[in-house]
Amino acid sequence: MSLNFYRRVAFGLSPHEKPYKDPLNWATNQLDAIPDFLWPGTIPTEKELRKKYGEWVYGDREVLRKKFKNDKYAYRKAKDELRIKTGERYFELNEHAIRHFQTKYSKQPVFERFWLFWGNHFAISEKDFLAEFSTGPYQREIIRPNMVKTFEEMVQSVTTSWCMIHHLDNSESFGPNSKKGMEWRETINENHARELLELHTVSPNAGYTQEDVIQLAYIMTGWAHKWDRKNLETGDIWFDQEMHQKGDKIVLGIKYKNDGKRELAKVIHDLATHPICIKFVSTKLCRHFITDEPTEEMINPVIEAWNKSNGSLIEIHKAVIQQAYKYNEITHKFHPPEIWLMQLSRIFDLNIPLSFEKMNYSFKLKPNNRQRQLSWILREIGHSPYRAKQPNGWSDLEVDWVSPELLLRRFWFASVELPMLVKSENRSHDFILSCLKNNFEDHKNMASLIHQFRFGTSDKDLGRKYGVICNLPEILKV
């Protein structure tokens, strides 16, 4: 088995790891239990961060805008102070540190790859202040615990999470015949219903109609944040019967009797176990780990495992890994910038993320450059994980990631920034050679390309070496 398997399903081998005797076993054994978060710094809860979100929004919208209505400079200044006080500029940086610390040091890196996958399948795109306060904890507290349950349970949790409901506006969706809908002459907002069908479960392949979207939106009415004057839109999710559309609904030919709160779980059950949903999500999983255009032959065993286990994600994940193993030698997969960065960090033991002590935040001064570094790098290489532009998340296709500027950014990172992230004890040429040997069959050829720089250890020399190494086809792809 080629060493690239460790990068195909994980992040490569760190200098402290050696290739395992049975790589397939090594990989599939990582999927039964949820690894703890290793980050020694603070890991705030979703609820705490939602409270901060509320303080920020309330402070800006209800206080500052009114107070400084005539003075844009004073308003900007006060707003900046509020950002600092509520951590609006900080929490996303901390989340990136938690995430990258995990992928760098986890003993179950394969599990972590699936974590990234599901966070992107149920993506929260850039909207309001979700990236600042909510997307990170959502991925930690909603996505992650469900990875040892069934797909259906995952969809249930995601669909009723504050983050997804806010992201897709379900709190603004009123059944037109509900009490509040009639009183306020409000109607449905179809966003969430559409994405539940299109992106999260059955996909357009199921051939649903606009009427199906509307009917599903009716079922979903009432699942909303609890609004009050102080928390505004950051209140907990509940089911508001007074927003809920009365009457029976029909989605994809199945009738759901008027049953209030219980309708949602029933329809999610049917969607999450729908054969087209199973095929759609299995295809996405294979696309992520095997190749951009997976064949039926690759996908079918995953579908079988899904059916046999009634959608157990543990079993599904294992089947995906088996397929990735099986096709490792004959397929290629391009990795998007964040995974590439995580792999470089693990393989070459780079100094990211920043140590947890240095990530501590006082809520008095704005985060410093060092604290912002990782997030800045992610943004500059074009892959700030919580800021996908659309609810379909980041693309998993090579064609979307290969543009002149995006490739140049990788050259820039590897040749200019990376040298400053090399630990002082790892600056020797031999260190690079040993890392290459640990991870690449073709390490001799790779080494020959940087042989001419072997005596240099300055940042500039390291930049030439890493600039070449990190952009070779065998590192951009597995």
Partner 1 sequence: MNCTRRNFLIGGSTTLFLSGYFPKISFASMQKKNLIIISLRGGMDGLTAVPVIGDKRLKKLRKKLILEDVLNLNSDFGLHPKLEIFHKLWQKNQAAFVHATNIPYTGRSHFDGQNLMETGAHIPYKEKTGWLGRGLLASNIIGKGLAISLPMPLLLRGVPQNNNFFPSPDFVETKLIDQIYNEFKGEHNELIKSTLDTIRQRPLSMQIATDSDDRKKLALEAAKQLKDQSGPRVAVFDLDGFDTHAAQGGVDGAHADELEEVNKIVTILHENLGQAFDNTLILTLTEFGRTIKQNGGYGTEHGYGSAILMAGGLLKKSQVYTDWPGLKKKELFEGRDLNSTIDSRAVYNSAMSICFNQDPDFLRKEVFWGDHLPDLSQELFKI
At residue 16's C-alpha, the angle toward residues 10 and 20, to 5°, is 55
For residue 185, state whether it binds partner 1 (rule: CB under 8 A): no
Single residue of 404, 425, 430, 455 touching partner 1 by CB under 8 A: 404
Interface mask (CB under 8 A) for partner 1, residues 109-128, using x and -?
A: ----------------xxx-
Please give the torsion angle defined by the CA atoms of residues 287, 291, 295 and 297, in that order, rounded to the nearest 10 degrees. Answer: -90
Closest to 343 in 3D by CA, of 446, 231, 432, 439: 439
For residue 212, state whether it binds partner 1 (rule: CB under 8 A): no
3-state secondary structure 142-160: HHHHHHHCEHHHHHHHHHC
For residue 205, state whether it binds partner 1 (rule: CB under 8 A): no
Question: Are 461 and 451 within 8 A, CB to CB?
Answer: no
First-residue to last-residue Cα distance in the chain: 13
Binding span for partner 1 by CB under 8 A among 134-142, 316-324, 344-352, 396-404: 396-404
Q: How far is the CB of 164 from partner 1 (least distance, A)?
A: 14
Binding span for partner 1 by CB under 8 A among 99-107, 146-154, 192-200, 313-321: 192-200
For residue 380, state whether it binds partner 1 (rule: CB under 8 A): yes
Q: Pick the closer one to partner 1 by CB: 91 or 334.
A: 334
Q: How far is the CB of 411 from partner 1 (least distance, A)?
A: 5
d(CA 143, CA 164): 11
Q: How far is the CB of 445 from partner 1 (least distance, A)?
A: 8
Binding span for partner 1 by CB under 8 A among 6-14, 50-58, 106-114, 394-402: 394-402
- Would you state the structure tokens that stand for residue 181, as one six-digit string? 């809908």
d(CA 119, CA 117): 6
CA–CA distance from 428 to each of 425, 434, 454, 461 (Å)?
8, 10, 9, 11
**Coil, strand or helix: which one is 369?**
helix
For residue 382, state whether it binds partner 1 (rule: CB under 8 A): yes
Q: How far is the CB of 402 from partner 1 (least distance, A)?
A: 5
Single residue of 113, 140, 194, 287 touching partner 1 by CB under 8 A: 194
Residue 137 pairs in a beta bridge with none
For residue 443, state whether it binds partner 1 (rule: CB under 8 A): no
Helical ranges in 58-90 per DSSP H: 65-67, 72-86
> Which residues of this chain interact with partner 1, rule CB under 8 A?
61, 64-66, 68-72, 75, 125-127, 169, 190-191, 194-195, 198, 332, 380, 382, 389-392, 398-400, 402-409, 411-412, 415-417, 449, 464, 467-468, 471-473, 476-477
